[in-house]
Amino acid sequence: MNFIKRAWQNVIFKKGRSFLLIIVMTVIMIFIMAGLLIRNAAITTVNNTKQQVGASVTLSANRDQAFKKMRASASSDAPSTTATRPKLTMPSVKLKDVTAISKLSGLANYNVSVTTSANASSIEAITTSSSSNNSGGMMDGGPGGNAESSTSTGDLQITGVLNTATLSDFKDNTSKITKGRALNSSDKNTNNVVIESELAKENSLKVGDTIKVKASTTGKKAYTLKVVGIYKASQSSAGMGPQQTDPANVIYTAYTLANQIKGQTGKVDSATFTLSDPTKKNSFVKAAKKIINTKKFTVTADDSTYQSLKQSMQKMASFANKIVWLVAIAGTVILALIIILMVRERRYEMGVLLSLGEKRVKIVGQLLVEMFMLLIVSLALAGIGGRFAGQALSKQVMRSVTTETTTSSQTNNMQPGGNGGPGGAQAPSGQTDGNRPSGQMPQPGQSVKKAVKASDLDLKISAVTLMQLGAFGFTIIAFAVLLASLNILRLEPRKILIG
């Protein structure tokens, strides 16, 4: 009799045993399927979000060289008083260098930043008070306002950019355009601006209105600006310090207009380049350094968000791998024990087959075919339930990874020399990082949280996943059948029948 036909008859006639084996194998396959889905989704997430997360490369003045130059100037001069003490001079980035770097390969987009200040003329700027009884809402700097608003620092911060959509605050939805539109490259050489909603509300401004500001630099020329968009900043007020540090007083303009107000041409404070592939940041930085004067300027890369995402996804993949292998090993042992018990019940059947001249290989093949038939049913059931189990597991692991990664980021930020910790780099008043208004530093762990939240796993059952699951299932039943058959098939038929 054909061993495949015998296997089919055993599966059909022994319904209770077949049902038990299907349940056991389905549970094993569901957990393996969940592990495979999480692992594959984690790997796919990292690959698919490289361009979305990206890595930023910033071109700015070389502060170390600027300090060395200042100290050298101080040591070469006669003992100086406070009035004659040398000042730190930061060179501006040349636009031609920015244009040259923007032509390098691997670039997704780039932006420039020019920061200066201005005094409100036709409107009133918003200021905050350090008093607990009057923490905000005071108006200053407009007609009839406090005379201190006319100081050289200005009461409005003008941030000139190439495109507001690529700024980190707008990409992360920290700031959102609520009315009108954002600024883009078409606004170059125009007086179009985007203002904050609180500033617009307090001055009854809407899209299409014009406002007037005066440069706080020498000459104090007046400029008429056209409001093309209104954005909402979710950051809280700075509270202390100059009123221009209040988020509501930040006005975004084209970098060309900011240059006019600042009194310079063909230069920017800094430029930020976003790479399409974060893994190629080193080669991009190397190529960019060949274009610039490294004694005056520096190129720094930041792929912390990508690394945070990659780290969290690697932890997810590692956890999923452990699930797959632990369940596979445990499943092999469990199935082997069940098949051993099943084979012992069929000692007489196997003894008769061996005495009739049936080969041992075919008897093992019969057991393997029986298990394979049941495996097909289990795979179909696991394909249905595996995705739900994977989603439940991924949410728990994602929550754990998010907490662990964010805690690690906060610890690193609090270390001496880290952002926000003692000795850490703080943004000087009136300067920005090109993406964030002055006086507002990123919160520790903020980018990590956003990276992890943006990486929700998409658990998709593909043909490749089913093939991987099938390979694991077949390997498990093959080992289980071999382990269960060793004690029986090494005996002679007469001993089996007598025993």
pLDDT means per 10 residues, the chain with 499 residues, are 81 87 88 81 69 73 67 58 59 86 87 90 77 42 38 78 88 88 93 93 93 80 93 63 69 93 88 83 87 84 73 76 83 82 77 80 86 90 78 65 52 44 37 39 40 53 83 88 74 68
- The C-alpha torsion from 162 through 166 and 168 to 174, rounded to 10°, is 100
360 token code pair = 């041992």
- Tell me, what's the pLDDT at 91? 75
pLDDT for residue 451: 45
pTM over 0.75: no
Count the alpha carbons within 13 Å of 327 in the hemisphere toward its beta carbon. 22
For the chain, give me the number of helices (H) and strands (E)?
15, 14
* Residue 79 CB contacts under 8 Å (≥ 6 apart), including other chains: none
Instruction: Give the pLDDT of residue 426.
Output: 36
Look up residue 280 and give its two tokens.
Answer: 């190629």
Given this model, what pLDDT does residue 196 score? 93
The predicted structure's pLDDT at residue 194: 95
The DSSP annotation for 323-358 comes to HHHHHHHHHHHHHHHHHHHHHHHTHHHHHHHHHTT-
CA 259 – CA 64 distance, rounded (Å): 25
Burial 297-321, CB ≥16 within 10 A → b, else e: bbbebbbbbbebbbbbbebbbebbe
pLDDT at 147: 36
Nearest to 263 by CA among 296, 223, 228: 223
Q: What Å distances lie between residue 205 and 123, 221, 228, CA to CA?
A: 9, 22, 11
**pLDDT of res. 355:** 79
> Across-strand partners of 66?
none
Measure CA 287 to chain center.
25
